[in-house]
Amino acid sequence: MSADQGRHPWAVAIIFVTIVIDLAAFSIPLPVLPAFLRRFSEASWHVPLVTSMYPLALVLFVGLWGWLSDRVGRRPVLLLSLLGTAGSFLLLALAPNLTVVYLARFASGFFGASIGTAQAYITDLTDTEGRTEGMGLVGAASGLGLVLGTAMGGTLASAGITWPFLMSALVAAINFVLAALILPESRPALPGDATWRGLRRALVPAPLLVAANVHGPRTRLYLLIFLLVFFSFSALEAIFPLYASLRFGWDELRIGLFMGGAFGAVLVLVQWLVVGPLVRLLGEPLLTVAGLIGLAAGTLGLSVAYTVPLMTVATLVLAVGAGLAFPAFTSLFSKVCGADEAGEVLSQSQAMIQTGRAIGSLFWGWVLTFGAGAPFAVSGLVTLGAVAILVAAGRTLLPR
């Protein structure tokens, strides 16, 4: 932790909760969405389409939020995000028809697009030596958000199908009030003559910027690896509840508790406590490769795990690998960004992450038709492909 982090402990805590809320916004509907949507339609194809609304909106607008935070400051962007997130959850809970459901999920992704700004805020508070530890904090918040979201969706729904959404709206609203009272600005706005420069590029989704070769080769490779890794990782987020139900007959409560314990708790603890010491020992490049290999091994293990003990071991290996790789790779990427573009470029990495999730939410359901373990077999191979690219392009990717 840097000196700035130590001077602003409440700021770090609020950013942590903000990221938890952003990721919970993505994951809370996953276990309850089929039952929730049956209130409006029996057609099952609405489930993947509604799921894709959140990452789609995030892909479209994350660059804009990041660019704006570089120009006007991080604080106003984060405050608007929290307020909008609370409103989008409330809209979802009160939705009278499918059109409003789609609109609410798109709005959640729009306001959740500030997660790149939250990462940039942590970047502002850390020096080069503390960057990976800071990104480990971001990763821990992300993992906690995914796990809490899934658990909340499965458990609070027993009190009523809209209770998870109402509770999330309340938490986001409380965090907005705390942030408005306590959260300091982490960096000054850029001079006025630079205020609108680059807006047009910020409005172009990151995948199109990569395709158009707008960035240099190093940034393009980073963004491509983000896309591949989180496309692969989305198999766990989207398919694990169905996998556990099909292979072991588990219900929503047991699935939520398992994901919170065997996966979520390990992921959070590794990112919070282990990444900092290990990166000082091994360095970000080696830690990233080792973590991704662990992620691939655990995912492939899930594909052939036919007993609960084997599934548990595979999940633990997967969680440790993800916990090591994600913050180390994000930290490495943040070091190649200029200070004046950290918000924009880190937001573009989030856009690639959410592109992977959006594609995955539509793809893994189809792969599941080939067997409960098929999505994890494909996912593990995709992660190994990302490792191969990372190793082959190692010198290009290292900070200069």
| Domains annotated on the chain, with CATH | 3-184+202-397 (1.20.1250.20)
* Amino acid identity, position 368: L
Q: How much is the pLDDT for 84?
A: 93
Q: What confidence score (pLDDT) does residue 87 get?
A: 94
Is 50 exceeded by the pLDDT of residue 4? no
Question: What is the distance between the alpha carbons of residues 398 and 400, in angstroms, rounded to a whole number?
Answer: 6
**What local confidence, expressed as pLDDT, does residue 309 receive?**
95
Predicted structure pTM score: 0.72
pLDDT tens, 110-135? 887 677 777 777 777 766 565 566 66
d(CA 385, CA 390): 9
CB neighbours of residue 371 within 10 Å: 14
- What pLDDT, on a 0 to 100 scale, did the predictor assign at position 134? 66
Q: What is the pLDDT of residue 240?
A: 84
Q: Is the pLDDT of residue 215 over 80?
A: no
d(CA 118, CA 319) in angstroms, rounded, equals 23
Cα separation, 367 vs 351, in Å, equals 24
Cβ within 8 Å of residue 70, ≥6 positions away: 120, 190, 340, 341, 342, 343, 344
The chain-wide mean pLDDT, for the chain, equals 80
**Of 263, 234, 243, residue with least CA distance to 382:** 234
Identify the weakest region by mean pLDDT among 135-144, 160-169, 242-251, 362-371: 135-144
Whole-number pLDDT of residue 287: 92
Report pLDDT for 183: 77
Kindly provide the b/e burial profile for residues 236-274, where b requires at least 16 CB atoms within 10 angstroms of the residue's own CB. Answer: bbbbbbbbbeebbebebeebbebbbebbbebbbebbbeb
Q: Give percent of the chain above pLDDT 90.
A: 22
Q: Averaged over 18-38, what is the pLDDT?
A: 77
> Of residues 354 and 92, which shows the higher confidence score?
92
pLDDT, tens only, 308-348? 999 999 999 999 999 899 888 887 887 766 555 555 666 67
Going by pLDDT thresholds of 50, 70 and 90, the confidence category of residue 210 is low
Q: How confident is the model at residue 288 (pLDDT cuts 50, 70, 90)?
A: very high
Give the per-residue pLDDT at 34: 73
Rounded to an integer, what distance in angstroms lies between the CA atom of residue 308 and that of residue 147? 19
> What is the structure's pLDDT at 6?
45
- Token pair, residue 227, equals 């896309």
pLDDT of residue 1: 44
pLDDT at 102 over 90: yes
**Is pLDDT larger for residue 179 or for residue 190?**
179
Residues 30-67 pLDDT 10s: 777 777 888 888 776 787 788 788 888 887 887 788 77
pLDDT at 103 over 90: yes
Residue 41 has a pLDDT of 84
- pLDDT (tens digit, 9 = 90+) per residue, 156-185? 877 888 888 888 888 888 888 888 887 777
**What is the per-residue pLDDT across 372-390, written as a single tens digit (0 to 9) for each?**
899 999 999 999 999 999 8
